[in-house]
Amino acid sequence: MTSRTTEQAEQPPEPAAERPGEELRFRPPSLTALEKHPVTTRAMAGRLPQLVCRSLALAWKVDRTAVVALVVCQALSGFFEAFGLLATTGTITALISSGHITDRLRDALPSIVVLAGAAGLRALLGIAVGNISSRLSPRISREAETQMLDAAINAELAAYDNPGFNDKWDAADRGAEVARDLITESQQLMACLSSLIAAAGVVTVLHPALLPLLLLAALPQGIAGMKAARVQYETSRAISADRRTLGLLRWYMVDKDIADQLRSGTMAEFLLKRYRAIGARVDAATDKAVHRGARYAVLGALAGGVASGLVWASLALLLGAGQMSVASAGTAVFALRTVGASLQGMVGYGTRLFRTGLYLDDWAEFIEEAGGHRMRRGALVPAAPRVIRAEGLTYAYPESDAPALDEVTLEVRRGEVLALVGENGSGKTTLSKLLTGLYLPTKGMVTWDGVGVAELDPQAMWRHTAVVPQDYAHWPLSARDNITLGQPHGGDERVREAAVHSGAHEVVDGLRSGLDTLLARQWWGGVELSGGQWQRIALARAFHRPAGLLVMDEPTSALDARAEHRIFAGLRRMAEDRAVVLVTHRLANVAVADRIVVLERGRVIQQGTFAELTGCPGLFRELWELQNDRGVPGNEHGVPENDRGVPAPREAAP
C-alpha cells in the first residue's frame, strides 16, 4: 500500500456505470446454425427443398386440406403460365401476318382469349394461395411455439440451471416467431419455380441457348443475396444478447413489484443510461449490417445488369442471323422477362427462406436440447409416501465447483415433522427439492417407500407433494384458483378448510367477491394483496392439496405474529397424515419438529430434537443463542418454555 503514489491514490475510481455490467450480460450466442449450414450456393441449393418440405410438414400438422389446396393451386398456376405464354406466339403471329387489320385481329382473337383467360385464372389462383398462406402462417408459428412449450415444460427442472438453456430458449423464440414466414416464403418460392419451369420450357422450345444464358445472368444477384442474408443473420444473432438485456431492462423499469424501489432508490436515470448505451450498440451493429448488405446489393445489381445486357444482345443476334422468327422473338421477350422475374424472385425468396431456415434451426436446436433434458423417468405410480429417505445424497448444480449437497443421509416418515436448519447457502432448499423429486441426485438416492424417485412417474409423484417455496407464485387467477391451482376437490368446503388453517379465510372474507375475486391488479383490474396475505394464500394452496409430503420453505417469513402462531400451532395436526419438511431460520419455530437436521456447506453436521440440540454445544445452539441475543428482558430464551425446555406454541383457535 505504501508504494502507491499520491497521484494514484487521488485518482477517482472508475465509475461503475462505465464498466461493463456483468450482471446484465448474457452469454454470447453460438452460431451453430451457420456452422451446420454455411451460406454457400451448394448449401443453399441443398437446403431449400428441405425447408420447403419442413414448412409443408409444419403446415400439414396444422391444416392438411390447406396444404393440398396450396400445392394444387401452385401447380395449376404454373400450368396456366405456360399456356398463356404459348398463346403469345399465336397472338403475335396473327398480328404481324399480312392482311387487313380486322382479319388479323379476328385471327388473333382466340389466342388473346386464351391469354386473358390464363392471366385471369392465375390471378384468382394467386389470391387463393395468398389467402391460404395468410390463414396458415400464424397457426404455424403457434404450432412452433407449442412444440417449444411442450419441450420446455417436459424438461427436467435442472435444465433451467444450465447457463445456455435460456439463451437457446430466446433464439428459439425468434425461430418460432419467424416460422410464420416459412409458408409464405415457401409458397412464393414455389410460385416462382412453377412460373420459371413454365417460361423456361417455352424459352427452350424457342431457342436452347437462351436458358443457360439467363441462368448465368441471375447468378450474381443470387450470390449477393446470399451474402446479405448471412450478414443479416450473423448480426441478428450477435445482437441477440443485447436485445435480451434491453428487454430485461425494460421489464425492470416498468415492473410493478419493484416500481417503488426504482423510485426510492432513484435508479431510473442509471437504468435508462444503460438502456441507451446498449441501444446505441445495437443500432451501430444494425447500421453496419445494413451498409454491408447494401454494398452486396449494389455489386449484385451491377453484375446482374451487365449479364442481362448480354442476354438481350444474344437475342438480337439470333434475330439478326435469322435463327428466330419475329413472332418467336416476341414470345421470347415475354418468356425471358418471366424467366428473369422468376429467377430473381427465386433468389430473393430463396435467400429469405434460407435465413428463416437458420432461425428455425435455432428453434429445432432448442427442442432438441430441451429434449435432451426431457424427463425420462420411470412409470411407477406411487401412493402417498410413508417413508422418504435420502441416502448418500450428493447434488451439484451444473458448472458449479462444489456440490450443494454432499453425502446426505436422512429420512422423514408420515406423521413426522422434520426441520432443516443451517446458514444461508447450506443446501436446505436444494435438499427439499431433491426430496420432492424436482431434482434428481448426482450421486446417492432419494427413495419413496423404498423406490428411487427416478423410477416414479413424476406427475403422479408430484400429485402427492405440496410445496410452499420461498418465492411463491402470485398467479393472476381468482382466489379460489389460487388455492386449488385449478385442481379442485371437495368443493368450496375444502377450500375454506385450507384457508382457515392458513389464515387466508380472513383475507378471502375481506375480498369484494370472496373466492371469485381476481388477484391480479396489474393485469385485469383485480385486487392486490399484501405480502403476508399472499403468503397465507400460498399456504392455503399447499394445505388444500391432498399430499403425502408437505414441504414448507420459510413459510411464515411474511406473516404477522398471530398468523405465524396459527401455522405452527396447527402443524402437528397437519402432520398426522403426511410427512412434513420444514425449512426455516426462525429457530423458535423448529421446536415443533420431531427431528432437526443441521446442514453446513451441504453436509449434515447435527441431528436431534430441539432440547437435544440446544442442550449441547454446536452450530444449532450457537445460532439459537445469537437469535436470542437481542438484549430483550425476559427469560434465557426470550420465549415461554414448557417442561422440556422447549418454547411451546399453544393451539390456536382457528
Helix (H) or strand (E) holding 223: helix 210-238
Long-range pairs for 287-295: beta carbons < 8 A, 24 or more residues apart: 288/235, 289/231, 289/232, 289/234, 289/235, 292/228, 292/231, 293/228, 293/231, 293/232
In 3D space, the residue among 446, 436, 455 whose CA is nearest the CA of residue 409 turns out to be: 446
Q: How far is the CB of 574 from ligand ATP (least distance, A)?
A: 22
Asked if residues 540 and 498 have their Cβ atoms less than 8 Å apart, the reply is yes
Q: How far is the CB of 420 from ligand ATP (least distance, A)?
A: 8
Q: Decide: is 427 part of the binding site for ligand ATP (CB under 6 A).
A: yes
Q: Which stretch binds ligand ATP (CB under 6 A): 10-18, 114-122, 343-351, 396-404?
A: 396-404
Q: How far is the CB of 457 from ligand ATP (least distance, A)?
A: 25
Closest CB to ligand ATP among residues 474, 603: 603
Alpha helices in 525-649 (DSSP H): 531-544, 561-574, 610-615, 619-628
Q: Which stretch binds ligand ATP (CB under 6 A): 39-47, 247-255, 397-405, 569-577?
A: 397-405
Q: Which stretch binds ligand ATP (CB under 6 A): 423-431, 439-447, 535-543, 635-643?
A: 423-431
CA distance linking residue 112 with residue 93, whole number of Å: 12
Q: How far is the CB of 559 from ligand ATP (least distance, A)?
A: 17
Q: Decide: is 425 part of the binding site for ligand ATP (CB under 6 A).
A: yes
Dihedrals phi, psi of 347, to nearest 5 degrees: -65, -45
Closest CB to ligand ATP among residues 353, 404: 404
CA distance linking residue 108 with residue 96, whole number of Å: 10
Closest CB to ligand ATP among residues 362, 554: 554
Q: Decide: is 404 part of the binding site for ligand ATP (CB under 6 A).
A: yes
Compute the 3-state secondary structure of the chain and give helix, strand, coil in percent, each to the nearest 5.
Answer: 65, 10, 25
Exactly one of 222, 225, 348, 422 binds ligand ATP (CB under 6 A); that residue is 422
Q: How far is the CB of 404 from ligand ATP (least distance, A)?
A: 4
Closest CB to ligand ATP among residues 400, 459: 400
549-553 and 579-583 beta bridge pairing: parallel
In 3D space, the residue among 169, 172, 173, 176 whose CA is nearest the CA of residue 143 turns out to be: 176
CA distance linking residue 98 with residue 474, whole number of Å: 87
Q: How far is the CB of 538 from ligand ATP (least distance, A)?
A: 16
Q: Decide: is 530 part of the binding site for ligand ATP (CB under 6 A).
A: no
In 3D space, the residue among 510, 647, 537 whose CA is nearest the CA of residue 586 turns out to be: 647
Which cell goes with 140? 404455424
Binding residues for ligand ATP restricted to 156-185, rule: CB under 6 A: 161
Q: Decide: is 426 part of the binding site for ligand ATP (CB under 6 A).
A: yes
Asked if residues 74 and 191 have their Cβ atoms less than 8 Å apart, the reply is yes
Closest CB to ligand ATP among residues 540, 597: 597
Q: How far is the CB of 502 from ligand ATP (least distance, A)?
A: 21
Q: How far is the CB of 10 from ligand ATP (least distance, A)?
A: 38
Closest CB to ligand ATP among residues 160, 251: 160
Closest CB to ligand ATP among residues 222, 422: 422
Q: How far is the CB of 225 from ligand ATP (least distance, A)?
A: 44
CA atoms within 13 A on the CB side of 382: 31
Which cell goes with 269? 436515470
Exactly one of 40, 50, 261, 400 binds ligand ATP (CB under 6 A); that residue is 400
Q: How far is the CB of 601 from ligand ATP (least distance, A)?
A: 8
Asked if residues 39 and 226 have their Cβ atoms less than 8 Å apart, the reply is yes
Closest CB to ligand ATP among residues 70, 468: 468
Q: Which stretch binds ligand ATP (CB under 6 A): 217-225, 328-336, 427-435, 630-638?
A: 427-435
CA distance linking residue 201 with residue 338, whole number of Å: 11
Q: Decide: is 430 part of the binding site for ligand ATP (CB under 6 A).
A: yes
Interface contacts to ligand ATP, rule CB under 6 A: 161, 397, 400, 404, 422, 424-430
